[in-house]
Chain A
Amino acid sequence: MTQTPTAPSPNTAITDFGIDTTTMSTSEAIRDYLSRLRGGQLGSLPAVLGLISLVIMFALLSDVFLSLNNIANLLAQGAGQTMIAMGIVFVLLVGEIDLSAGTASGVAGAVLAMHYVENGNLLGGMGSTVFIAFNAVLLLAVVLAVLLRVWPGAALSALAIVISVSGLAANPWIEMLLALCVGSAIGCITGFLVARIGMPSFVVTLALFLTWQGVILQFIGEGGVLGISTSPVLNQVANGNLSLVASWALFVVGAGGFAALQLGQHFTRLRRGLVTKPTPIVLLKVGLVAVIGAAATALLTINRSPNPSIEISGVPYVVPIVLGLLTIGTFVLNRTRYGRHIYAVGGNREAARRAGINVTQIRASVFVVCSSVAALGAIVYSSKVGSVDPQAGGLNTLLFAVGAAVIGGTSLFGGRGRVFDAVIGGTVLAIVANGLGLLRQSAAVVAIVTGLVLLLAATVDALSRRRAATGAR
């Protein structure tokens, strides 16, 4: 005998759960945070702790480390690889890897430098065969981007052809735009091979890593160097500083904007009865950013020149550049549909596909983002060095960038990470390189220590992931 249950008793099973909560008290939030830490959701905490201990260690071992000049120098040294790392975060988020980002940025840097040195005459700089091949590859990138429906990639690649063929005279802004366009064209090719053809990103980008290295060598020539330090704008990107007024304006806009956004959002959510963090914690966060920002600005606006006859002061240009990129990247990942879909593809590709997300397009587009941002990184590191040589973007550039992202807490397995992670990780690696350099350690020691730091970060990632997997019942 069977019957249809018409009146199920709903109260039998929900006794062991709480009710929906929207606000927590501060102590609850702290407990919740601690329990999440125990559950393996470490975020960027290990990197922040590492950063603090490194700063203390080097400050004790070297009296130069905490000098203003060195700090400003450190920011400029680390900016290029940090920017590449920011791009790589996008690729890591969907669970892929881009080993070619470093040399791809080198290609963008080489084209930038050649455009400047040859006064816009790329045909003369490359020779006709290479020039035709170069433009054919750009055209291919346009076609592939159209097939993938990654429209910004297609537009930028097409713009690269226009700039390259039109032979406009040297202009630093056009050169930087060209570098960005070349980077994005490279990303279209990588993205197509990975997402549409379906090759593992490791293999594709390993092959392209070698290919782009050869391309740089072809563009610059064995033993050649293309100097760009004679261009005031290109030189200032990584070596110039904001004026005193502009430095404080940056602080007001940056810290004020952050406060306005955080507080505005917080109180709007509170009013509408949505899930929020406790007010004291939000205020603490905003206050901390304001205090650190003010202190940093005050220190960087002091004259830090070791030579009394010249004055060097003001916040380096790389700071607003990195902060701007950080803001845009964070906004895209957290507040836009595109960013949400990146996380979804990284978290569960099948779920994303079933939700109607164009997984191929998303996976391809992150490579375009990565290479484009890497090209911006190339502008900064080329400017820092003042020239582009055949080793640009080679050697450790890429490993440092991937390392920076991972050290900051971005997972190599996809789905977890923030652009801010790259900034923290990039700072850690810049401090290691800078500090060991000040202590007159050999390149061997620097390489070993950097490698061990990266290994440590990957270990933390793997362990916390395992913990999270077992912790979730």
Chain B
Amino acid sequence: MSEPILELHGVNKSFGPVHVLHDVDLAVRAGEVTALVGDNGAGKSTLVKCIAGIHAADSGEVRFRGKPVHIHGPRDAADLGIEVVYQDLALADNLDIVQNMFLGRERGSAWLLDEASMEQAARQTLASLSVRTVKSVRTPVSALSGGQRQTVAIAKSVLWDSKVVLLDEPTAALGVAQTRQVLDLVRRLAEQGLGVVLISHNMADVFEVSDRIAVLYLGRMAAEVQTKDVTHGQVVELITAGRSGDLGLARPDTAVV
């Protein structure tokens, strides 16, 4: 088994009196899709935001390629090669695909952007992911469908020579065909050697694309298992009760807040 590219050890996070994450450990390996599952309020999105630098973790250690790192903002995470595709997409509707993909990291000098180079790079990235779903890379995002927006958001995350991509519920609002597209894209990211974290509520999606499953239960990491070693039922039990047979949190009362 390869060394994890991103490791979290004992991460804690509170919002005021609410203790959202308790000593969470997580390992993300290159070339694998790690599914992060859990019930509503289990802390999945918070964990992703801690990794992305949107929230600062209260305590705990983050290791990137074996070396401890400190992530204080979105820029730090981006510099390491950690990209996040958020549930609410974080695209600006009024900008076109190229402008969105390069937002915050435009090419060219500050006083004269290099539109040509950005447009070519955007098209290459979309082509490398076999995305043929957009008519023109100069289409404003407001004119795209949900699946196309998700595709753009994911393509944006791989544009930066990124190492780890975190996807927050990428298929939540999509139809069947569009979900298919996005899942194919997720698989392709892993095949390109990226470490992929997929947050999802949909067990079918999780079992289809993931290599490993990490289950959060009330802010604790209940289990981290190989997808092939578990069944649907076990994962659902882990999500709802925090344990399933030998798997999961040792004593149920520790999980009760």
- Interface residues of A, Cβ cutoff 8 Å to B: 2-5, 8, 10, 12-14, 16-22, 39, 268-269, 272-275, 335-338, 340-341, 343-344, 346-348, 350-357, 415-416, 468, 472-473
Contacts and interface: CB of A to CB of B under 8 A. Distances in A.
Given A2-B207, A340-B99, A344-B103, A356 B75 contact: yes
A415 B92 contact: yes
Given A336-B112, A354-B74, A18 B92 contact: no
Contact of A343 (B95, B133, B134): B95
A357 B127 CA distance: 27
Contacts of A348: 90-93
Interface in B118-163: 119-120, 123, 126-127, 130, 132-138, 142-146, 148
Contacts of A19: 132, 135
Contacts of A8: 183-184, 187
Nearest to A7: B187
A20 B148 CA distance: 13
B116 interface: yes
A354 B77 CA distance: 11
Interface stretch (B18-26, B173-181, B216-224, B248-256): B173-181
B113 interface: yes
A337 B137 CA distance: 19
Nearest to A9: B184
B116 A268 contact: yes
B136 A274 contact: no
Interface centre among B88, B126, B143, B145, by most chain A C-beta atoms within 10 angstroms, is B143
B61 interface: no
B128 to A, nearest CB: 13
Contacts of A352: 92, 103-104
A274 B93 contact: no
B146 A473 contact: yes
Nearest to A22: B136
Interface centre among A20, A39, A272, A273, by most chain B C-beta atoms within 10 angstroms, is A20
B99 A4 contact: no
B177 A13 contact: yes
Given A4-B227, A356-B104, A346 B94 contact: yes
Contact of B74 (A22, A273, A356): A356
B71 interface: no
A73 B210 CA distance: 71
Closest 3 CB pairs of A and B: A355-B104, A347-B92, A347-B94
Interface string B70-104: 00011100100000101011111111000110011
Contact of B111 (A13, A336, A354): A336
A415 B135 CA distance: 23
B142 A351 contact: no
On chain B, which size bracket covers the interface? 35 or more
A351 B92 contact: yes
Contacts of B184: 8, 10, 13
B93 A347 contact: yes
A402 B92 CA distance: 24
Interface in B197-215: 207-211
B94 A340 contact: no
Given A19-B132, A21-B136, A340-B106, A14 B181 contact: yes
B103 A337 contact: no
Contacts of A337: 106, 108, 110-111, 113
Contacts of A347: 92-95
B134 A20 contact: yes
A351 B119 contact: no
B241 interface: no
Given A337-B108, A416-B94, 14 more contacts: A2-B232, A4-B211, A12-B177, A13-B184, A17-B135, A18-B135, A20-B123, A20-B135, A268-B116, A272-B116, A340-B95, A340-B113, A350-B88, A472-B142
B110 A336 contact: yes
Nearest to A274: B119
Contacts of A468: 142
A2 B19 CA distance: 35
B92 A344 contact: yes
A438 B11 CA distance: 74
B211 to A, nearest CB: 6
B78 A356 contact: yes
A16 B119 CA distance: 24
Contacts of B209: 4-5
Contact of A10 (B84, B130, B211, B228): B130
A415 B93 contact: yes
Given A5-B208, A348-B92, A416-B94, A13 B180 contact: yes
16 contacts: A5-B208, A14-B133, A20-B123, A21-B135, A21-B136, A269-B116, A275-B138, A335-B113, A337-B110, A340-B106, A341-B104, A344-B103, A348-B92, A351-B90, A355-B105, A356-B74
Contacts of A472: 142-144
Given A336-B111, A354-B54, A20 B132 contact: yes
A353 B91 CA distance: 11
Contact of A415 (B94, B108, B232): B94
Nearest to A39: B143
A322 to B, nearest CB: 22
A32 to B, nearest CB: 10
A335 B112 contact: yes
A151 B127 CA distance: 41
Nearest to A8: B184
Nearest to A337: B110
